[in-house]
């Protein structure tokens, strides 16, 4: 997943769209993995059923907050660490998703013109 240097031409639209698709799929996989970690943890450590575990994982991952109260110390500990992980994961996944778009914009603004 290498980008062009400022001495190279801006990638064509089909190449850019394919790159955006690859990055979007990578982000989608990270989101699925993050939700799976939460579902498994909330179900087996927190004792919450699967649909509520999924709901809780999605809400925590997007920063909305908890839905189900955790009753045991282990469940509260998992929920705390998952919330910390989710905060970092959400920001990182967002950055990865927008990286090709930001690179393209900066590359267009800084590309060297052959006529000068």
In whole angstroms, give the CA distance from residue 33 to residue 93. Answer: 12
Residue 49 DSSP class = -
Residue where the block lists tokens 């575990």? 53
Give residue-wise pLDDT tens across range 18-75.
989 999 999 999 999 999 999 999 999 999 999 999 999 999 998 888 889 999 999 9
Question: Which residue segments constitute the domains of the chain, with CATH numbers given?
Answer: 13-110 (1.10.287)
49 in Cβ contact with 42 (< 8 Å): no
Distances (CA, A) of 63 to 9, 27, 40: 39, 17, 19
Q: With a cut of 70, say whether residue 112 has pLDDT above it.
A: no
């Amino acid at each position: 997943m290498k980008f062009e240097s400022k001495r190279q031409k801006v990638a064509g639209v089909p190449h850019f769209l394919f790159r955006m698709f690859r990055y979007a799929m990578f982000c989608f996989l990270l989101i699925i993995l993050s939700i799976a970690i939460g579902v498994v943890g909330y179900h087996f450590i927190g004792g919450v059923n699967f649909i509520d575990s999924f709901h809780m994982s999605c809400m925590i991952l997007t920063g909305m907050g908890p839905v189900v109260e955790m009753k045991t110390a282990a469940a509260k500990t998992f929920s705390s660490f998952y919330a910390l992980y989710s905060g970092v994961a959400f920001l990182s996944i967002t950055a990865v998703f927008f990286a090709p778009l930001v690179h393209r914009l900066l590359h267009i603004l800084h590309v060297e013109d052959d006529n000068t």
